[in-house]
Amino acid sequence: MSTEDELRILFLCEQKLLFPINPQIGERPNSRCLFVSSLVWKALNPPYESEKDGIRMGRTLAMLDNFVEGRRISVRLPPSKKVDAYIALLDKADEEIWEIRVRDPRPGVRIFGRFACLNVFIGLLPVYREDLTDSKAIKPKEAEDKLWNQAKLRCRSEWEKLFPLVAPHTGKIPHDYISNNIFIV
Amino acid sequence: MTISQITSLLSELSSVSQENLEPRILAYFQERFRNRLYELVIEEFEKQQRENGLTQRELAQRINKSVSRVNKWLRTPGNWTLDTVSDLLIGISKSELKISSKEITPPSLNFIGWSGLYVWESSPEPEDLINLLHEENTATKLEGTSWKAHENSLIKLEFTNERHGKNKIDVNN
């Protein structure tokens, strides 16, 4: 990330369009950086629509702490479909849209986002897993694909609002995105 | 850049009575505890892998589980139960998890949960911690690497290690 991009992030934080996530507990220095959009920030913080949403966001905060504390996390790149990845690059890989996956309690939560540079993730869109399925659809699989694509489009649109004309960070292997303490699934 | 959210969960914890702990706070600590426990088990597995060549297959055989199940457990703590933790720890290190607020077993303090739950996981003991305990006269060294806290003492632990950096923790005994 260039100095110009760093300044852009600082500016967005000043403007309250982007929010840094720091560990909830302790003084452990941030090994990785995580910033979230106002959409994610709003979802993470009270008030919640229901107690259930509060529980899901409590869990989500703990999972986000894992990232910024530099904890050991599992990374998935296509074509892997392993369900237990902490963070996954979604198909198609060249779209550079990732999800942080919070699977408990079910249905889980996904934080869609993109890497701004190595070890710097921008969480752009909170997605409730139940909003990515349509069990009543005649063709559920097709309906689900459509919902996923719509969510990816919204994620991309959030990125373009915050970082117009800036391409997301790209890579070929997980270590191109996160340098330390990862394992590949 | 700092945000008030960092302190909000903790300040909320101290400002409300225990009956009123919000579900989201409980959820946060449940997830955090699970992740720390996972990290503890994985680090122990990797240590045994390095030092004694332990493989997932051997571990699976030891605890009478399939290799695929052990592989899944080591990838994510998502479906762990307390029995899983017990099986993995016994299988990996042939010892149980020692948890005590009064007796401190091997060093490099690793905070893995709320309510004074500490696990000491490696040696040698950090020198600055030992000095501090002596100076404050709050604990007595037992056999090996165990420590017993004095009654009604407030132990202030400050130590450094490579992985966690500088840490300060108070233990109310």
As for the ipTM of the complex, it is 0.85
d(CA A121, CA B63): 39
Q: Is the link from the previous residue into A92 a cis peptide, with omega within 30 of 0?
A: yes
Nearest CA-CA distance, residue B123 and chain A, Å? 21
Locus of tokens 């400050």: B158
- Is the pLDDT at B108 greater than 90? The verdict is no
Instruction: Output the six-digit token pair for A6.
Output: 């760093």
Nearest CA-CA distance, residue B143 and chain A, Å? 31
Instruction: Output the six-digit token pair for A140.
Output: 């559920």
Q: Given pLDDT bands bounded at 50, 70 and 90, which one contains residue B136? A: low
Is B100 in a helix, a strand, or coil? Answer: coil
Beta carbon pairs, A and B, within 8 Å? 88
Per-chain mean pLDDT for chain B:
66
What residue type is assigned to position A88 of the chain?
Answer: A
Sheet of A33-37, strand order = A18-20, A33-37, A120-128, A109-117, A98-102, A87-89, A73-76, A182-184
The predicted structure's pLDDT at residue B14? 56
Give, for all 185 residues of chain A, the pLDDT tens digit: 678 888 889 999 999 999 999 888 765 666 799 999 999 999 999 999 999 999 999 999 999 999 998 888 999 999 998 888 999 999 999 999 999 999 988 899 999 999 999 999 999 999 999 999 887 888 888 899 999 999 999 999 999 999 998 999 999 999 999 998 898 98
Contact across the interface for B24 and A58, Cβ inside 8 Å = yes
pLDDT in tens, B17-53: 556 788 888 999 889 888 888 988 998 899 999 999 9
Q: Please state the φ and ψ torsions of residue B160, each to the nearest 5 degrees.
A: -130, 145
CB atoms < 10 A from the CB of B16, how many?
A: 12
The CA radius of gyration of chain A, in Å to the nearest whole number, is 16
User: Which of A25, A58, A185 lies at the smallest CB-CB distance from B10?
Assistant: A25
3-state SS string for chain A: CCHHHHHHHHHHHHCCCEEECCCCCCCCCCCCEEEEEHHHHHHHCCCCCCHHHHHHHHHHHHHHHHHHCCCCEEEECCCCCCCCCCEEECCCHHHCCEEEEECCCCCCEEEEEEEEECCEEEEEEEEEHHHHCCCCCCCHHHHHHHHHHHHHHHHHHHHHHHCCCCCCCCCCCHHHCCCCCEEEC
Show Cβ contacts of residue A75 under 8 Å, excluding neighbours closer than 6 positions.
Answer: A85, A86, A87, A88, A174, A177, A178, A182, A183, A184, A185
Beta bridge partners of A111: A100, A126
Residue B102 near residue B147 (C-beta atoms within 8 A): no
The predicted structure's pLDDT at residue B119? 34
Beta bridge partners of A171: none
Locus of tokens 């986002």: A113
For chain A, list residues whose CB is within 8 angstroms of any CB belonging to chain B.
10, 13, 19-29, 44-46, 48, 51, 54-59, 61-63, 65-66, 71-72, 74, 82, 84, 86, 103-104, 183, 185
The predicted structure's pLDDT at residue B125? 53
d(CA A108, CA A184): 21
Between A94 and B12, name the one with better pLDDT: A94
